[in-house]
Structure formats: structure tokens, C-alpha cells
Chain A
Amino acid sequence: MIPAVYRIERRIEEMPGTFTLSLLPGAREEVVSLRPGQFNMLYAFGAGEVPISSSGTADTPGLVHTIRAQGAVTRALERLREGDTLGLRGPFGNGWPVARLAGRELLVIAGGLGLAPLRPIIYAQLQGSMNVHSVRLFYGARRPAEVLYRSELEQWGRALEVVATVDHADVNWPGRVGVITAPLSTAQLDPQHTVAFICGPEIMMRFCVQLLMGKGISPANIYLSMERNMKCATGHCGHCQWGPNFICRDGPVFRYSDIRGWWQIPAL
């Protein structure tokens, strides 16, 4: 698993400390494509590797990754500019179970940077490539300045139901204020035909799972994208072992009914 060399074609500063890189393979590299929910290991030379989910679409050339600078490796990636190169291994992981959505109502529930791994799902719906009855997006962020893909959210709102809320805002913010569970709790759902994809901070996902189950949605129809310390990304090193699974190999997307036995065990 030798990293391929990719060049940064485009760099977008989403907000301070959060940026999106569009990557193109070097001339001698194979073109990699990711399914929604899969991830690549991005290698900042001399600093190390980090797992980053795809946040682009399979139809456009190159790879798109949105990254928050919060550790040594991601800070090194943050310093890279257009034209710079980085190493890339992938794709890894299973991705969102799009094939199981036929005729279903899909709830996409994202918190903070958790919108990035779900953006390919939104793109797929907008491009008409998903065989679903409907898609609704519920998105929560800390404050207005930290709303990810803000201009895109407005565009998406013209094509599908988008409910965005922030935890804190001043009175000049025209949108919703409150946590993500508030609009979810009043949403009208058909529990027999609803499937939920959730990605965000683990505490947020716990509250959302509880709320969805309270509304009658089966644990088998709730999917979560998990995050743990991944190193090899091939299920060998054991860093991301979670219960009987390796998140890099068996996840990062899990069905709640499959993982609920160890979901609440704090030491895992």
C-alpha cells in the first residue's frame, strides 16, 4: 500500500481551520473513485497520514476532501496550497448503503463537519441517481460562521427539504436556533419507510438515534458513520478496533442494529 502522489488542484477555505481540497492524480497514478461514505488516507509528507472521507461526487474528475485542522497531520495539510502534492491511499471502507434505499424516505442527519461525508449523497440525489422516494437533510452547526457549505445548503434547499439549525446565534441570524434534535422531534416521519444516515459528533448521533427510535424507526434502518484512530486502514494494525469490528475495514458506516451491543460502552 504505497501512497500515490496527488496534486492539489483547488483549495477552498470553508471557514477558519476548515478547508476543502480537490485532488488530481499525478501522471503515473491510477485514477481512484470513491463511493459515498468511503475514505482515503491522506499523507502529508513528513507529518503522517489521516483518514478523510470523500465529500465530492463520483462524476467529477479528481477527489474532494473537506478537512478540519486539529492535529499535527491536518495542520500540515492545511499549510499546503494549490499545486502542492500529497500522498494518498484508498479508497477504504464500505460507504453508505445506497442500494438499500429503493422507494424509501431518506433522512440525512449531519452535525458540524459531519456534513462532508454526506455531501456525496446529496449530490447523488440532486443528480437523480438515487432510487429513493424523498430525501430530507437536517443539519446542525455550532454557530452561523461554522455552517459548512453554506451557499450550497441554500441551493439544495430549492430541490429538497433542508432544515439547518445552529446551537448559538445572535438576533441577526435569520435561521433556526437550537439543537438538531429539536426540528427532528417535530418532523413528520413514516417510520416503516424511513431510513436515516447520520454523521456528526458521537454525542449528537446518540441523541438522534434515541429520538428516531422513539419515533418508531427500526434500529436496522439507522446508519452511522463512525470515527476512531485509524492507522493502516486495512484492518491489520488494530488501532480502530471497535467491538468485533475494525472501523477502517468493516465501517466506517455501520447499521445501528449491528453495533448497539457496544455502542454505549465508554472504553471502546
Chain B
Amino acid sequence: MEDIEELLRQHTFFRDIADAHLRTIGGCGVEVQYRPGEYIARENMPADYFFLIRRGCVAVEIQLPNSGPLCLQTLHEGDIFGWSWLFPPYQWTFDARAVDSVQAIQLDGRCLRGKCEAEPELGYELMKRFARIMTERLQATRLQLLDIYGERPGPAEGSS
């Protein structure tokens, strides 16, 4: 097992973060592994953790009544998932399932919430980084909703 602090430092989410913050965050993290098909998070269950994916693929899914799971997106090496630990009621809003063998760093949200309250500078730094991830996901969702590859009359043939 590599040192958690060093693993966090290698991850893009924590790029250029102060060493002191990294030490604090590292104290709340452990390395975890999931087998293919194993659920990492389940909708409506307590969201006490968030994850930084080091290897493998995670499917973010929602269960549709009478038709099973629908995959909303997949996440991969370098991605981060889970921000439900930041806001009440601290429950997952989707399922997260390991598609293949997944290695990740699991960070304890309850532990970090306490540390962020005590150290506002750390809290602000983490919030900035999560805000960026949320913005990227929001943009991606908008792009997905636009259905940009859907058939539209092309300008080349607008009058043909």
C-alpha cells in the first residue's frame, strides 16, 4: 500500500494543494478496492464518503421502476465522485457500481466536514475544487440534454 498522502498528491483533484491541507485530508482517507459488479454506493443510503478513482470504471446509475438500472454516466481513472456528503441529508442520490475491478481512495466525509468547520481555509480550498467538478458535471449534463448528435436538417441541405 502506498502512502495515502502521496496518492492524493498524484491525483489531479488535489494538484497544487498545500502540504498541510493534504496531510489533514490524507488522515481521512483509505485505499479501497471493489470487484466487478459490486456497488460502491446505493441511492438513499448514507453518503459518508467520496471517492477518487485510481483504476477501473464506475457506472453512475438510477433504478427505473419496471425496467431496471439506467446508466447516466461512467467515471474512470482520475475522476472523483460523491458530493452528497457535503449537504444534508447526506444521502446518495444515485447508485455507483464497479463495472470492472476498481481501485480508489475513499475519503471520509464526516471526518472532513468536521475538519473543514475547524479550518475554514481548508474548507474553502475543498469547496473550490468541488465547485469546479460540479460545474463540469453540470455542463456535461447540459450537453447531454442538448442531444447534439440528433438528426437535424444540415445547412448543406437546408433547401435541397
A residues contacting B by CB (< 8 A) are: 17, 47-48, 50-51, 68, 70-74, 111-112, 140-142, 146, 167-171, 173-179, 181-183, 185-186, 200-201, 203-204, 207, 227-230
Task: Tell me whether B149 and A72 are in contact (CB under 8 A).
Answer: no
Contact of A229 among B59, B143, B144, B155 (CB under 8 A): B155
Task: Tell me whether B76 and A167 are in contact (CB under 8 A).
Answer: no
Is B12's beta carbon under 8 Å from chain A? yes
Q: Considering the chains assembled together, what is the distance between the CA atoms of A186 and B74 in angstroms? A: 13
Across the A-B interface, the 4 shortest Cβ-Cβ residue pairs: A71-B157, A142-B149, A112-B149, A178-B73
Please name 20 further chain A to chain B contacts, defined as beta carbons within 8 Å, in addition to the given A70-B152, A186-B77, A207-B143, sorted by A numbering: A48-B160, A70-B151, A70-B154, A70-B157, A74-B160, A140-B149, A146-B149, A171-B69, A174-B99, A181-B143, A182-B136, A182-B140, A183-B76, A185-B136, A186-B79, A203-B146, A204-B148, A228-B156, A229-B156, A229-B159
Task: Tell me whether B160 and A204 are in contact (CB under 8 A).
Answer: no
- Across-interface contacts of A51 in B (CB, < 8 A): 156
What are 27 A-to-B residue pairs whose CB atoms are below 8 Å?
Answer: A47-B160, A50-B156, A70-B154, A71-B154, A72-B160, A112-B149, A167-B148, A171-B61, A171-B68, A176-B57, A177-B71, A177-B72, A177-B73, A177-B74, A178-B140, A186-B12, A186-B77, A186-B78, A200-B148, A201-B148, A203-B143, A227-B154, A227-B155, A228-B155, A228-B156, A229-B158, A230-B156
- Which interface class (under 10, 10 to 19, 20 to 34, 35 or more) fits B? 35 or more
Q: A171-B59, A186-B79 are in contact. Are A181 and B151 (CB under 8 A)?
A: no
Q: A142-B149, A178-B144, A186-B78 are in contact. Are A227 and B156 (CB under 8 A)?
A: yes
- Across-interface contacts of A111 in B (CB, < 8 A): 148-149
Chain A nearest CB from B35 CB (Å) reads 16
- Across-interface contacts of B144 in A (CB, < 8 A): 167-168, 178-179
- Across-interface contacts of B151 in A (CB, < 8 A): 17, 68, 70
Contact of B70 among A170, A179, A227 (CB under 8 A): A170
Within 8 A of A (CB), among B46-93: 57, 59, 61, 68-74, 76-79
Task: Tell me whether A169 and B71 are in contact (CB under 8 A).
Answer: yes
Chain B nearest CB from A118 CB (Å) reads 15
Contact of A207 among B73, B139, B159 (CB under 8 A): B139
Q: Considering the chains assembled together, what is the distance between the CA atoms of A176 and B77 in angstroms? A: 12
Q: A176-B74, A178-B74, A182-B140 are in contact. Are A141 and B156 (CB under 8 A)?
A: no
